[in-house]
Amino acid sequence: MEEEIRYFYQPDLTGTIISWCWTFIIFLAGLIIWLEITHFQWITAVLFLIFAVLVFLEIKRRTVVVTPTKMTFSRLLQKDYLVIPLADIRQPHFTKHTMSMTVNGEVLNFTFTNKAIRRLQDLLERQEKEGARS
């Protein structure tokens, strides 16, 4: 059985900004309805509830499961996960909080915690050394 390690991530900066802006639009719509009608309505409660659920999902649902052979990225509202075999990763680049990599000619950027970045960097370096031996 393969060992699985789970990390939380955020997509590239542009995707993150767009996603969070749409989420906050729901909050603002609830706030505007509440202030325009001058007393709390059920629609305001529904919009605030939708906002809270989306915030929870955007933080907790975006995970990557790393095994010795692949990385599986879960997405917020999509059933299809992004599965990247470690052997297909080219030109990994790490900064303090971000990881950039090229997979099949496409450049992917993800934001992680410092601890996750260090562990992913170690994993990819070990994978590269094993690949060089083969």
Share of the chain above pLDDT 70, in %: 95
Q: What is the pLDDT of residue 2?
A: 64
Work out the mean pLDDT of the chain and round it to a whole number: 87
Query: Which residue range(s) make up the domain with 114?
Result: 5-133
> How many structural domains compose the chain?
1
The pTM of the full predicted model, rounded to 2 decimals, is: 0.77
pLDDT tier at 134, thresholds 50, 70, 90: low
* pLDDT of amino acid 13: 85
Q: What gap in Å lies between CA 117 and CA 88, rounded to an integer? A: 19
Q: Select from 80, 116, 67, 74 the least CA-distant residue to 95.
A: 116
76-108 pLDDT, tens digit per residue, is 767 778 899 888 888 889 999 899 999 988 999
pLDDT at 131: 65
Q: Which residues pair with 7 in a beta bridge?
A: 64
Q: What are phi and psi of 5, to 5 degrees?
A: -125, 135
Contact of 64 with 71, CB cutoff 8 Å: yes
pLDDT of residue 51: 96
> Is pLDDT above 90 for 21?
yes
109: domain CATH number is 2.30.29.30
CB contact at 8 A, 96 and 34: no
* pLDDT attached to residue 3: 83
Q: What is the pLDDT of residue 52?
A: 96
**In this structure, what are the phi and psi dihedrals at residue 90, rounded to the nearest 5 degrees?**
-125, 150
pLDDT digits (tens, 9 = 90+) for 23-45: 999 999 999 998 888 777 899 99
Does residue 103 contact residue 86 with C-beta atoms inside 8 Å? no
